[in-house]
Every structure is written in C-alpha cells, then in structure tokens.
A and B are shown apart, each in its own frame.
Chain A
Amino acid sequence: MEEKGSLKVSPGEAVGVVAAQSIGEPGTQMILRSFHAAGISSLITTKGLPRIIEIVDARKRPKFPMMHVVLEDSVAKKYESVRAIWRKIEEVKVSSVLRSFSEDLRSQTMTLELDREKLASYEITAHQVASKLEKREATEVSQDDNIIRVKIKSKDMKSARTAFVHIRNASIIGVAGITKALVQQDEAGVFFITTAGSNIADVMMIDGVDKWHIYSNDIFEVMRVYGIEAARTLIAHELYETMSDEGFTVSFRHPSLVADTMTYTGSIKSIGRHGVAGEKESVFARAAYEETVKHFTNAGVFGEKDMLKGVAENILIGKQIGVGTGMVRLAIKKDELKKVKAKE
C-alpha cells in the first residue's frame, strides 16, 4: 500500500495558533449556561464555555469544586465500609441537625434544640455535638438530652452575636468544605465517592482512601497538594473533557499545549491580560493586546528593549513573521560564493 507523507508535525508549524483556534472555534457553538441540573443522582458542575473560561482564566477556585475519591481495593467493594468512609467525608454542620435555636444576647447563651431524626440520619449523637462545641474557645456547654446550651464568654454583645453564627456553622463531623458526598458504584461493582467541594489534603488522610487516585477539579488545590505537573495534566484534561462533554472532539495536543503554556514557568498563569499575554517579553505585543499606554510608559521608565521576535511585533513593523515558512533563513557559504564568482 502506498503511504502518503509523514505523520510528524512540520518544523515551523504555528502550533500555538492551531491550538487556540481548535479550542476557540467550537466556542461559538457551546452552551453559555454554566450548569444543567440532571436530577438528584449527580452533582452540579460548571460546563461548556463558562468552564473553559474558568480554567483558562486560572481562577483561584472553581465555582463548583468537586472530587472523585477512589477507595482502596480492600474496602472498595464492601458497601458498609464505604459508607463508613463516606460518613467521615461529608461535612455535617450544627445547622444541619438543628430543629430550632434561640439566642439570648444578655446572658450570652444560645439554646440549640437538635432534631432527633436528622441526628439519626447522620448517625451522630447529641453528645457528639456537645463535645465538639466544648472544644471551642471561650465556651461553656451543657447538654440535656437533645437540648444543648452554649454560654459564650465574650466582652461585648457584638462578638457574642458573631460567635452565635459561628456555632451554627461549626462542623461536627466530616471534612471541611465538603458540602455533599455521594457513594456511587461503577459497572464492575466497585464503589467510589463523589463530592461537592474539594479538600484533597484532608480526604487523603482518611483510612481506606486511595491517596494516589483522588481526582479534584480545583486546579490550584491540585497544584498545592500534588505539584505543578499534576496541575498541568489537570488543566489539559479538564479542557479536553469539557469539550468532549459538549460533543466536540479535539486532539489532546491542543489542550495540553495550552496547559503547558500556562504552567511552564512553574506557577499557574492565566491566559490573558494578567497572565501569559500580559507578561510577554515584547513591549509591542503587550501594547497591541490591552492596556496600551501602561505598557509604553513602563517600557520608557525601565528602558525596555523590544527584540521584535514575536508575531505581533513583526506584523506591526511590517516584517515577515518568525513562524511557519517565515522561520526559514538562507545562509551562503562565503567561500563557495567566491568560487562561483571567480568562475563567472
């Protein structure tokens, strides 16, 4: 069979532009609404164009952080032990087991009436709640069945008021920041846990959790816990997944090139004015993008030089750009030239 051409990229190919176009062009056809609730069983996440913008902007925290927790083989198939782990993950706050409460600012006491049914559903006791609250500073807790009285030792009413709020928001069990966790099962019968909210570092510490297979969509958190390489992979993967969820196939090279440009310095930089595009070496490239005057004045003060190597600068001054066929230069061997000339 006759084979045509090479499968390799041609040197000079402007792969950056191709990547940008491959991600940007389908954008017009993507949905703008950030989430589409698909019933009770799954968690809400950002999707489509808003998610792509969220990733590319390098937002410090996704709008809907989420985790996929894989469990160790020894427990992954036993529902009971998985449930026990689940109970350690989902955060239960005082407010979610409250039936009613009253605040007395004068005596600085708060009376909490706990809901028996709710306590039972989370499998916690009123005593657990009380002992958790006892650990807080400057509080005095007394418990009588499902009634808990908390006395706050603070100087003024205002701080007592804020303390009341804090008590209602105090967490009893679970990992901070995990508002909801769901136990799910795959085709092979293996259980795993998905969560709304992300806290890798704490979930990792729970026995039975497979430390090597926690997935989170929070890029900065992944960088803090697992390092920049993991963050790079996550950016590429999330971009890829977001696009394929919308039905757009894209070669993995494109999102991974975007991810590499965002992370090759060792920290996560956003695409745009405050990141990659705003930190270019060339004054002209920056000025032609956004904040023209700022870049020119600063360049003057610091005596910056524009070496005119990038694409934007060369378009500006009317020279051939340095990528693609514009990259090719011809060199002449001077001695050979002399020989030719001598012949003539």
Chain B
Amino acid sequence: MQAEGIDYIRFTIVSPETIKKMSVAKLIVPDTYNEDGYPIDGGLVDQRLGVIDPGLKCKTCGGRAKTCPGHFGHIELVRPVIHPEFAKTIYLLLQSTCRQCHRVLLSEEQITELRPAIKSYVSEEDEEREAIVPTDQQQMQQQVMDEGSKAVLLKKIRSVKKCPHCSAQQAKIKLERPTYFYADGNRIKPDEIRDWMQKISDEDLEPLGMDKTATRPEWLVLTTLMVPPVNVRPSITLESGERSEDDLTHKLVDIMRINQRLEQDIDAGAPQIIIDDLWELLQYQVTTYFNNETPGVPVARHRSTRPLKTLAQRLKGKEGRLRYNLSGKRVNFSARTVISSDASLTINQVGIPRRIAENLTVPFYVTLWNMEHAKALLMRNEYPMVINVISREGIRKRVADTNREELIKALAQGFVLERQLVDGDIALFNRQPTLHRLSIMAHTVKVLPGRTMRLHVSVAFPYNADFDGDEMNLHVPQSIEAQAEARYLMQPKDMILSPRDGRTVMFTEEDEIAGAYFLTKDDAYFTKDEACLMLSSIGINELPKAAKNGAYSGKSIFSMLLPKGMDFDEDVKGNHMVIKNGELKEGIIDAKLIGLGGTLIQHIFSHYGSDAAMYFILNSAKLSLRVLLMEGVTISIRDYYNTEFVNNERVRIIDEVTQKAALLLEKYRNKQLEALPGYTRKETFETETLVALEEARALASKTLEKVLDRSNMAYLMVLVHARGSVLNLVQTSMFLGQQAVRGKRPSRGYAGRTLPYFKRNDRSPLARGFIRSSFFDGLSPVEFYMHAMGARDSGMTKSLVTAVSGYLQRRLINALQDLYVDENLSVKDASGALIQTIYGGDGIDPMQEQVAKEKRK
C-alpha cells in the first residue's frame, strides 16, 4: 500500500480569508462543556468541529467519531497580534521597506539588476540565463546563489538611510524579543505593523525573495486564528468521570477569554492603558499557543505546574510528530525474543519458536491454479493452518471451526489467505542498534521447539550479538516483491563480505580456530575410524587418499572441504599457505585464513559463490570442533606458572621502568626537564612518565614471547588467534602494569594524592597506579583500588563514546541518505546533483574491493 499521486507539497501562509473559508464555525464562547456534560455551541468543542464521543454525530458531515475527519473553526481576534514564529520575517520586512511609501529600499535600477538573479535562484534555470546577463550582474547572481538572496539583500539594504523612492529618512528598527518592534525607540503596535505590511506591493516582494502567491506580508500579523478540529486535541475522560482537556484546548480557552475581555473593554470605552495591557496579554497567550518555548517568554503552565505542550512542541524533537510518528513507522507481522545459538542451523537460517510461528502469518494469494492447495490449507485445523481469510473486497475474517466450511465454499480467485509461518519462509532478522546494513538480514525460517530465536554463531558477529540475554527482532515481509527482494539481496550468505572493506565478516571463531590448528598442523594424522567419524559428521561420505602408513593426514581431511580444483597461495606472516588443485599442501589453517577478515573464506566466496563460502564456514567449524573434541585444549594454572627466568625478568622490568620514572621525577624536581611545546613542565613530566611506565607491558610481552612455546596451551591459543592476547598472559602471570584514568595516571581523590595512604605530592609509580602484582599473585589493597579506578574510567568512557558516535552516525546518514548510483555508475543525490562521475573513481562495489585488488595483481 502506497500513497500515490502526490507530485509535490507546497508550503504557503494561510490568509485570514482562507481561514474563514475553511472554518465551519466561528467560536465565541471560551468554554467547553456545559453542566450536563454536553458540548456548548460556539464553544471549543462545538459539534460542528467534529466529534470524539462515540454517541454523538458531527454536525458538519454527519459522521460518527470514527468516520468524521474533523473540521476547522476560527476565532476572530479583536486586535491583531504578531505570529511569534514570523517575528523575524516581519523584522526583515520592516527593515527593508520604507516607513513612508512602503516601497523596497532599492532603486529601480537595483531591482531590475537583481531580478534575473532572484528568478534564477528561485527557479534554477541559471544555465540558460548565464549566457544572457552581463558580467557584473553575473557577479551579483553568483553572490546571491552563494549566500542566499536574503543575506545579500539585507547587507545592501541595511546601509540605506534614505528611501530611493520618496527620499524619506529611515528609522532604525529594533526587534525586542519575542514580538515587540520599535522604530527609533518608539513602539510600533501590531495594528500599525499590519497596515505597513499591507501597503507593501506585490511587485516589491519579488526582490525580497518572497513569493506573492504564497505569502502576503500582512498575513504574518494575525487577525483570525485557526482552531484545529477536536480530534486533534481530544479530551480524556478519567475513571472518576471527570473530563481532562488537551493542552491546546486549554490554551485556546485562554486566548478566547482574553479576547472576549478585550472586546468588552473596548466596547465599554476603557482607558487605553487597560486595553494595552489586555492586548499584550492576548499576544502572550497567542505566542505560547504557537510555541511554549519561545525565548524571552515565561512558560505557560498547566494547573499542576507542568509546562503546556503547544503546537511547536508537538512537532519538535525526537518525540515530536515528525521524528516519532512520521519518520518512525510501526509495523505488524513482527516478533521479538531472546536469542540463543544453534550449531545445527546454517548461517542463512533462523530458528523460530513454534509459538511465534503460530502467530505470524504470510499471505497466500488464491489463483485459478492453486485453488486446490488453498482449499486443503484452509481445511487444516492444526499448526500450519490459515488464520484469516481476506475476501476480494478486503474484508478480513478469522477462521474458526464454526465458519471453516462456509469460508471454503466462498473461496474464489483473488482471495488472500493468511497462513501461519512455516519452514522455508523468508524473514528479516534484526538486532539493535542497527548501525549497519548487516544488522538486518533475511533468514530462512526453521520452526523449532523452545522459546528463543536461534541463529548460528558465525552470523552473530555482523549483528554484534552474543547470547547473554540479547533480544532480536523478526519481521515477515508480506508482499511478493518484498519477499523476493529479501531473498535476492539480503541473505546472510550473500553478505559474507563486508561493504565497509570487502573483508570476511562471517567466519569461524575461538574453539573452531583452535580445532583447525590441531587438524592441519604438520604432524596431524588420524586413523581411518577417526577420519570417518569426522567427515561423516559434516555429511561427507568419502575418504581422502591415505598416507603411506595408512593414516590420514589432517591436511588431506581438511582438503575435503575445499572446492575441487581450487588454487590458493598466500604468505601470512611466515605461514605459507599452498592449496593446489583443491588440496591443502602446505601451511596451518588459522584465524588469518578462516577468522575475521579471513582470506581463504573471501577467496572461496569470490570464486565459488555464496553457497560454497557458507558451507565452507559451516563445515570447517564443525570439523574443527570434532577435532577439538578428540584433542582437547586444557589450560591450567601451570600455563601461568612462571619459571625463575620469567620471575627475574619481571623484577628486572619493573625495576627498569621504576628507575626511569624516578629519573624523570628527579629531573622534574630539579627543574631540568624541558617542557614540550604547548605544555607545562608538569604535564610534560606526567606524559613522559606515563609513556615510560606503559613500556613495562611491552617489555614483559617480549619476554613471554621468547620463553613460551606451543606446549603452553594459553599461548597456543594466542598464537593461532583463537582467543586471548599476550597482554592477557602478561597480566595474569607477570604484572598488571600502569592503570590510566582519562589517559593520565590516576591523581585525584585526596589533596595531592590518590589515597590517604600516600604522602602528599607523591609522584612515584606506586602512588599513581602502577601495579606490580599479577592476577595470579593477587593485588594489594592499594593496587586493587587503582585497578578499580581504571576500570570505572573505561566504563564511563565507553558510555560516552556511544552517545557521541551515535550522533555522528545520525548526522552522516542524514547528510548522505539520498545518494544513489545511477545507471551510468555516477553518484547523484535526490535533487539530481552530480556528486561523483563514477562511483569511487572506478565504479567498483566496495564489497568486491578485495577481490578487485586480487585481480589487479
């Protein structure tokens, strides 16, 4: 369903005449309901404005609450009032027209000179015009286009002291917020402004950049106030039977009350001061009616002191009409629940709990050719059954045991059956925050027992999901077009490469990588039984060629996963990988190949297609896990137990950096330390000390890397990039190292120290968060405290970054969302402006970038 036939939407100012023409009732009574709870005629809930009570009928269209669209009314203001949102426009008009003859403060020559510029600015036919207009005008034209007509004109006009038409001296106009105007210090009242505006001729609006068909200046000063229909401002009936009116109604009552009093006082010939006061009050009420956050105006409040939500507040901001209701669409046919993992699924599938599948529906279009099938479907009274039948007229009927026969009889071409979700249907799966296009992908439904939605772990990464309680959303596309689009463009198997850099984002992780190491390391051989067990677990019923001793090499088993005839040769940091004719000849499979950004997966994807890549990921994961089941990786405390050499190194490294820090401190104390440019000596000392102390970790890492080998399982996992880093090892077995708060050493807490335990101005490593203990040894109380400071700081930073980067994301998307690639691979925006002649300079899809690079080689 789409809104069709809207070519464009034009914005204009509503004239008082139009308001009156649109209005169905002139409202005169500043009240809502009478004592009997019945709407007062001429009041703010006049029945001619439409009805919201289910019992009543609209006096204009005769419709009931649900059918009546609502009708506008109007209030005649006794004295004109400035529209607060247009005060700035009025100010502009007052400044740029003559106080006496009300002409634009530009000479005829200047106007004629400007006209083509303005016209082209407005109608954008500049290319044709450029050839005709002489150079100086071209300059002006350029200026107008660069800075916008308003800016240029204002600059020009402000300097005019004398009217070029009647030579009257011009007054200095001042706008005092929000709505008071002064000419040379004397107040100009709204009625005078209105007269002034009225006298500006249509011709003079043109050089000001205004469109006479859209706006007459005098309309910016209100004489008639449009009153929105009641269903725009519905009243709520509380449980106690008491009525509570909408904020807008409250405000309108206020306006009408003051308006009425003003009228009475004028009729009674009250003194000018009283009239002026009331007039000003009317201005206040109208101002807050439009925008209750107008700067310089006290906020209008409800009886309960809650600020009223008036017109501008309804539209504005995140919870406003535009962003909340109009840009934010709500949908049916969706589900949300906790996610968990399932290794038996493919990355393309999603496991849906039966309860959800029973509630979600997919339309089934009844045609001449599937009538029998439709009838059979409709007959069913258990799980894959039809929930609703929609007739050709669009009447939706729920299927029940009582009316099933009847519905089958009535079934005809063009009917739509809403049947329950079944295996093989397509559904969009999403995890928030949706930062990515990979955060929404189309999975094939697999109905499963249980209450959670299930996905394969390898597809968790692009969603940034884990299974510690994450929830995800599911949407079932309804139209055939949407389903096709999802199938062709959004399936995870087609998204294995990231559009950010063309690298693999669906891959094997952790245990699977460790398993792959045990499978493909050079001395890995398996018995026939083992090989059979491993391969049959992934549905391969053949065996590779056995080695001489009758055993099967791990490499040959792994080769069973590779596409036939595949060639691959890559050197990743000393690990030379050779695949020839689909056989893994050399090299150990590790994370560089089948992990994040894995080149092997990428190679298979780009040469053998998405299905091959998907099954390669799934099978290598399963196979690796099977190996790991046999081999086993056990880490124990022994892996973190230091040899004497490491212990000595540990002491040596700590001594080394502590001495360095002490040296720096001495230099600083003796004022020998030279300040870095732009920094004080203290800051220089702190940063240099921090750098010196942070080096400890790097030194310790080097030591461990020297000492440890593949017999240490914790280190093995680091080496094959299965899990963990050397830093983790350093911190568990050697020392934690320097803690940082806001990028500096911890320093605050007590005067000149972090804890009362220290002396004031103690700048030694220990007093400023250098931790000598390891997780193995345990931390001293002081160290524990420092560690907690660092941890809290990083927690705080993290939450701050999400806010900042979220806003950056919103801005970027807003600025770039209209760009698209045209047929000739150029990039254009919504207005047709050419941004790039060929996308990226070569028209290559960023997803295929790595492939393109490979080809160029």
Q: Which of B784-801 contact A (CB under 8 A)?
A: 797, 800-801
Q: Which of B88-136 contact A (CB under 8 A)?
A: 89
Q: Which residues of A contact B820 (CB under 8 A)?
A: 12-16, 322-324, 327
* B846 proximal to A (CB < 8 A): yes
Q: Which residues of A contact B317 (CB under 8 A)?
A: 292
Q: If A253-B839, A256-B840, A300-B214 touch, does A17 touch B816 (CB 8 Å cutoff)?
A: yes
Asked if residues B813 and A21 are in contact (CB atoms below 8 Å), the reply is yes
Q: If A15-B819, A39-B688, A251-B849 touch, does A289 touch B814 (CB 8 Å cutoff)?
A: yes
Q: If A288-B322, A301-B13 touch, does A17 touch B811 (CB 8 Å cutoff)?
A: no
Q: Which residues of A contact B291 (CB under 8 A)?
A: 293
Q: Which residues of A contact B678 (CB under 8 A)?
A: 44, 179-180, 196
Asked if residues B2 and A261 are in contact (CB atoms below 8 Å), the reply is no
Asked if residues B691 and A315 are in contact (CB atoms below 8 Å), the reply is no
Q: Which residues of A contact B86 (CB under 8 A)?
A: 297, 301
Shortest distance in angstroms between A182's beta carbon and chain B's nearest beta carbon?
Answer: 10
Q: Provide the bound-state CA to CA distance between A62 and B555, in Å.
A: 54
Which of the residues B10, B329, B743 comes within 8 Å of A304, measured between beta carbons?
Answer: B10
* B835 proximal to A (CB < 8 A): yes
Q: Which residues of B contact A13 (CB under 8 A)?
A: 820-821, 845
Which of the residues B327, B834, B848 comes within 8 Å of A7, measured between beta carbons?
Answer: B848
Asked if residues B814 and A306 are in contact (CB atoms below 8 Å), the reply is no
* A223 proximal to B (CB < 8 A): no
* B551 proximal to A (CB < 8 A): no
* B677 proximal to A (CB < 8 A): yes
Q: Which residues of A contact B687 (CB under 8 A)?
A: 37
Chain B residue with Cβ nearest A34 = B743
* B186 proximal to A (CB < 8 A): no
Asked if residues A317 and B3 are in contact (CB atoms below 8 Å), the reply is yes
Q: Which of B294-343 contact A (CB under 8 A)?
A: 312, 315-317, 320, 322-323, 326-327, 329
Q: Provide the bound-state CA to CA distance between A282 and B10, in Å.
A: 11
Chain A residue with Cβ nearest B502 = A251
Asked if residues B817 and A17 are in contact (CB atoms below 8 Å), the reply is yes
Q: Provide the bound-state CA to CA distance between A250 and B2, in Å.
A: 37
* A177 proximal to B (CB < 8 A): no
* B274 proximal to A (CB < 8 A): no
Which of the residues A9, A17, A283 comes within 8 Å of B839, measured between beta carbons?
Answer: A9
Asked if residues A249 and B3 are in contact (CB atoms below 8 Å), the reply is no
Shortest distance in angstroms between B718's beta carbon and chain A's nearest beta carbon?
Answer: 18
Q: If A260-B836, A301-B86 touch, does A30 touch B801 (CB 8 Å cutoff)?
A: yes
* B499 proximal to A (CB < 8 A): yes
Shortest distance in angstroms between A96's beta carbon and chain B's nearest beta carbon?
Answer: 10
Q: Provide the bound-state CA to CA distance between A40 and B606, in Å.
A: 46
Q: Which residues of A contact B848 (CB under 8 A)?
A: 5, 7
Q: Which residues of B contact A307 (CB under 8 A)?
A: 7-8
* B825 proximal to A (CB < 8 A): yes
Q: Give 1 or 0 for each of A269-303: 1 = CB within 8 Å of chain B CB.
A: 00110011100111111011100110011111111
Asked if residues A9 and B812 are in contact (CB atoms below 8 Å), the reply is no
* A320 proximal to B (CB < 8 A): yes
Chain A residue with Cβ nearest B311 = A293
Q: Which residues of A contact B210 (CB under 8 A)?
A: 301-303
Q: Which of A29-56 contact B (CB under 8 A)?
A: 30-33, 36-40, 44, 49, 52-53, 56
Asked if residues B437 and A323 are in contact (CB atoms below 8 Å), the reply is no
* B36 proximal to A (CB < 8 A): no
Chain B residue with Cβ nearest A36 = B743
Asked if residues B8 and A277 are in contact (CB atoms below 8 Å), the reply is no
Q: If A13-B820, A17-B817, A21-B436 touch, does A249 touch B845 (CB 8 Å cutoff)?
A: no
Chain B residue with Cβ nearest A252 = B840
Q: Which residues of B contact A302 (CB under 8 A)?
A: 209-211, 214-215
Which of the residues A32, A38, A260, A297 comes within 8 Å of B801, measured between beta carbons?
Answer: A32
Q: Which residues of A contact B816 (CB under 8 A)?
A: 16-17, 19-20, 257-258, 261, 271, 276
Q: Which of A181-201 contact B (CB under 8 A)?
A: 196
Q: Provide the bound-state CA to CA distance between A52 and B10, in Å.
A: 37
Asked if residues B804 and A49 are in contact (CB atoms below 8 Å), the reply is yes
Q: Which of B503, B609, B797, B804 has the most CB of A within 10 A?
A: B804
Asked if residues A25 and B435 are in contact (CB atoms below 8 Å), the reply is yes
Shortest distance in angstroms between A109's beta carbon and chain B's nearest beta carbon?
Answer: 30
Q: Which residues of B contact A305 (CB under 8 A)?
A: 8-11
Shortest distance in angstroms between A120's beta carbon and chain B's nearest beta carbon?
Answer: 15
Asked if residues A303 and B10 are in contact (CB atoms below 8 Å), the reply is yes
Q: Give 1 or 0 for each of B797-838: 1 = CB within 8 Å of chain A CB.
A: 100111011101101111111111111010101110111100
Asked if residues B485 and A325 are in contact (CB atoms below 8 Å), the reply is yes
Q: Provide the bound-state CA to CA distance between A32 and B327, in Å.
A: 30
Shortest distance in angstroms between A282's beta carbon and chain B's nearest beta carbon?
Answer: 7
Asked if residues B500 and A303 are in contact (CB atoms below 8 Å), the reply is no
Q: Which residues of A contact B841 (CB under 8 A)?
A: 253, 256
Which of the residues A4, A28, A254, A304 comes within 8 Å of B607, measured between beta carbons?
Answer: A4
* B395 proximal to A (CB < 8 A): no
* A22 proximal to B (CB < 8 A): yes
Q: Provide the bound-state CA to CA distance between A32 and B797, in Å.
A: 7
Q: Give 1 or 0 for each of B24-48: 1 = CB within 8 Å of chain A CB.
A: 0000000000000000000000000
Q: Provide the bound-state CA to CA distance between A42 and B748, in Å.
A: 28
* A1 proximal to B (CB < 8 A): yes
Shortest distance in angstroms between A95's beta carbon and chain B's nearest beta carbon?
Answer: 13
* B651 proximal to A (CB < 8 A): no
Chain B residue with Cβ nearest A19 = B816
Q: Give 1 or 0 for each of A309-329: 1 = CB within 8 Å of chain B CB.
A: 111100111111011110100
Shortest distance in angstroms between B485's beta carbon and chain A's nearest beta carbon?
Answer: 6
Q: Provide the bound-state CA to CA distance between A9 and B687, in Å.
A: 47
Asked if residues B607 and A272 are in contact (CB atoms below 8 Å), the reply is no
Asked if residues A272 and B811 are in contact (CB atoms below 8 Å), the reply is yes
Q: If A27-B805, A179-B677, A249-B501 touch, does A14 touch B817 (CB 8 Å cutoff)?
A: yes
Asked if residues A28 and B499 are in contact (CB atoms below 8 Å), the reply is no
* A10 proximal to B (CB < 8 A): yes
Which of the residues A3, A11, A44 comes within 8 Å of B821, measured between beta carbons?
Answer: A11
Q: If A301-B89, A322-B830 touch, does A310 touch B435 (CB 8 Å cutoff)?
A: no
* B633 proximal to A (CB < 8 A): no
Q: Provide the bound-state CA to CA distance between A59 and B595, in Å.
A: 39
* B410 proximal to A (CB < 8 A): no
* B85 proximal to A (CB < 8 A): yes
Shortest distance in angstroms between A223's beta carbon and chain B's nearest beta carbon?
Answer: 15
Which of the residues A3, A180, A254, A272 comes within 8 Å of B677, measured between beta carbons?
Answer: A180
Q: Provide the bound-state CA to CA distance between A14 and B829, in Å.
A: 10
Q: Which residues of B contact A272 (CB under 8 A)?
A: 811, 814-815
Which of the residues A7, A304, A320 comes within 8 Å of B845, measured between beta carbons?
Answer: A7
Asked if residues A276 and B815 are in contact (CB atoms below 8 Å), the reply is yes
Asked if residues A318 and B2 are in contact (CB atoms below 8 Å), the reply is yes
Asked if residues B831 and A293 are in contact (CB atoms below 8 Å), the reply is no
Q: If A21-B436, A306-B10 touch, does A277 touch B315 (CB 8 Å cutoff)?
A: no
Q: If A19-B816, A21-B813 touch, does A283 touch B825 (CB 8 Å cutoff)?
A: no
Shortest distance in angstroms between A293's beta carbon and chain B's nearest beta carbon?
Answer: 5
Chain A residue with Cβ nearest B832 = A309
Asked if residues A25 and B809 are in contact (CB atoms below 8 Å), the reply is yes
| 24 residue pairs from A and B, CB less than 8 Å apart | A1-B607, A3-B607, A9-B821, A9-B844, A14-B820, A20-B813, A22-B500, A24-B435, A25-B809, A32-B804, A37-B676, A40-B688, A53-B804, A256-B840, A257-B816, A261-B816, A261-B829, A277-B814, A281-B831, A283-B11, A301-B13, A303-B215, A315-B327, A322-B820
Q: Give the 9 A-B CB pairs with smallest separation, nearest first.
A: A303-B214, A16-B819, A27-B805, A303-B211, A16-B816, A24-B809, A253-B840, A310-B830, A20-B812
A7-B844, A9-B844, A21-B809 given; name 12 further pairs at CB < 8 Å.
A13-B820, A15-B821, A22-B501, A22-B846, A260-B836, A267-B146, A288-B323, A292-B320, A292-B322, A300-B215, A305-B11, A311-B818
Residues of A at the B interface (CB closer than 8 Å) are 1-28, 30-33, 36-40, 44, 49, 52-53, 56, 179-180, 196, 249-254, 256-258, 260-261, 264, 267, 271-272, 275-277, 280-285, 287-289, 292-293, 296-312, 315-320, 322-325, 327
